[in-house]
Structure 1
């Protein structure tokens, strides 16, 4: 066998392992677990950090105001230094739509060592503490919830004994680039953090989706959230790890009626979304970056290259190994495309999308070393080990 044939065989072996041994990450049936209605509904405070969100707030905030929740619930929207009138718009929407009580406040600029979002979350939790809620719902300003969303989240947490229940909101998929990139984003996330492993007690895998996290207040206090993760750019995964380290039981799955209304119509928009945190995911390690690039190439790029090389060179072994690997890859992507209601002809294009993610990851590292890494809405965050030690 030629070197390319051995490489294609290695890619096929990797895909067979991913298919059977990575928590069945490719299945999309991990939804809110079975739940029963509690006899008494606990109090909940909803914390919404918002920075320059006037464009999406009219589609998201009314859905929170309209929550059909049988217990006490209140919303705290924290305006994180917006320049587009986000805070006043929120008040106007509350006056227009009514519903749950809304408080709008601003904490001012975050101090050194804090990301803006987590500083806003800290302020919101501080405001909520006066109500002594049993649960906190941390949700982003671009997330729209079905009227029964809060009720179902609380019922799931109570029924399963979970300290944190998180749903990965269904992202918008309308433009061509969104169709190519967005379902793959969730697919890759599930591959890194298989949902089935996250919900197991004692399992080390921990992750959450920051757009929708229902968190027991006492679990947040035990985990020192958000103070313990104040510098985290990928704050949802950091939050889940902190809760799990504190002995908490967490759950993460795909949402059915929780949707992001934020548009990413151009490739540039999606590129910025991914590249701003990709290198932080790799802990700013050149070694991990090199390993990630090599892994993406072996798993996603080798199969189509092997098929073409095998056909051109009349190398049946190479073409067969590459073709089988590509087939398994395509088959594992189909459930995610169905979840996003996208045409299945997109499945064989996953190698192209993976190549885009590879370039985004490399660009994330380049921007980091140029001093422009982890930039979002006018702020650029320093890597944690460059921050002053607060003891």
Structure 2
């Protein structure tokens, strides 16, 4: 009997020690994230100071589009209507659409006079290419050969992205004023429905945590990233970096693009958008789930060890704080409760700026652990789909890991 009681006490003591270690480790992680991770939680990283150039450079706007008839009426007219003082044109690459995307684009150009529109079709991707990068390759080649001189800049923007009339002008002014080779803005995603409110701001928050904007924007930065929905790129920098050919297999093409430009000596800048918005709806959880899971395991380079580390990290950083607070209160151990509660408070506090940026109520901040749990499950599902041969799937295409291509 004594042995049984002793073992029970030992088990309880070990459980208490484990809970305390987890709670304090989580608190330490949040103190480090808050103070030492490039102030990732701040949302004031907007376009750098800019002045109008003496001569406005020429720009080709390249839009890869595959089955985008649903969103094109809300995005393409905004590109055609750009109020840009220099020469500019729009090239829409109809990437094997079956919903009339190309014809719809031509009709919208007739109905909305403005910048000239060219619609081209590249055919099916060559082996070893992802569909979007194959479309961008064709669009960039068209832009570089359509006229006697190449455009000075390329604006690579997704078909679901709507731009305010001065968006292009502000992007170019920022690039020329700061002598930047790549200027990218994280488009403000649509947040309307319940699941969008829970998942979308957290998506950008997690991205900024992985790639702190301030750190990326330092001239000596060793970290590079971009947001694929809106990338202004000097044509000369694209040629120097060999893009998109040099990143043709990349599923996470925006980060790969930024890394290629940075490796070739280019200066890059990344921040949050003020004049650029995504109009793509994600009305149900399944839509958001697909958006995340299609590339989550690719972000981990399809490495099981990285997956295990990511899952452990998500549990420690996001799930332990509320669990420690509740466990500490339930068992009468205030030290554990305080550590968990303070970590949860730091988590919610760093999330508040992103909620304000998305004009969402502060009451959503304490729910971030639940959203993190969803992302954990999406990441696991991404790995499962990969090993079932359905990973990195998008609009009817499935891409292998680069080494298997």
Common topology (TM > 0.5): yes
Match of 2:123 in 1: 108
Cα distance in 1 for residues equivalent to 2:126 and 2:54: 43
Match of 1:88 in 2: 103
1:179 to 192, 197, 202: 197
- What SS class does the counterpart of residue 13 from structure 1 fall into? helix
Give 1:347-386 correspondences, 5 Å limit: 347-386=365-404
Cα distance in 2 for residues equivalent to 1:116 and 1:334: 36
CA deviation vs aligned residue, 1:218-265 (integer Å, no higher than 9, x gap)? 000010010000010000000000000000000000001100000001
**Is the aligned partner of 1:249 residue 2:264?**
no
Match of 2:25 in 1: 10
**Is the aligned partner of 1:75 residue 2:93?**
no
CA deviation vs aligned residue, 1:306-326 (integer Å, no higher than 9, x gap)? 011001101111100000000
1:59 to 74, 77, 81: 74
- Count of residue pairs the alignment pairs up: 387
Output the aligned Cα RMSD: 0.5
Cα distance in 2 for residues equivalent to 1:87 and 1:3: 59
1:45 to 56, 60, 76: 60
Give 1:109-124 correspondences, 5 Å limit: 109-124=124-139
Shift of 1:372: 0.3
Larger-gyration structure (1/2): 2
Match of 1:212 in 2: 230
**Is the aligned partner of 1:226 residue 2:226?**
no
Match of 1:335 in 2: 353
Match of 2:364 in 1: 346
Cα distance in 1 for residues equivalent to 2:351 and 2:357: 10
For structure 1, the residue ranges without an aligned partner over 5 or more in a row are: none
Q: TM-score, normalised by structure 2?
A: 0.95
Shift of 1:34: 0.4
CA deviation vs aligned residue, 1:184-233 (integer Å, no higher than 9, x gap)? 00000000000001111121110000000000000000100100000100
- What SS class does the counterpart of residue 29 from structure 2 fall into? helix
Give 1:183-194 correspondences, 5 Å limit: 183-194=201-212
Q: TM-score, normalised by structure 1?
A: 0.99
Shift of 1:2: 2.2
Cα distance in 2 for residues equivalent to 1:16 and 1:312: 25
- What SS class does the counterpart of residue 209 from structure 2 fall into? helix
Cα distance in 2 for residues equivalent to 1:198 and 1:307: 35
- What SS class does the counterpart of residue 2 from structure 1 fall into? helix
CA deviation vs aligned residue, 1:26-50 (integer Å, no higher than 9, x gap)? 0000000000000110000000000
**Is the aligned partner of 1:138 residue 2:153?**
no
Give every structure 1 segment of 4 or more consecutive aligned residues whose post-TM-superposition deviation is greater than 6 Å. Answer: none
Match of 2:12 in 1: none
Cα distance in 2 for residues equivalent to 1:353 and 1:92: 41
Cα distance in 1 for residues equivalent to 2:84 and 2:245: 29
For structure 2, the residue ranges without an aligned partner over 5 or more in a row are: 1-15
Cα distance in 2 for residues equivalent to 1:193 and 1:3: 31
1:160 to 154, 158, 178: 178
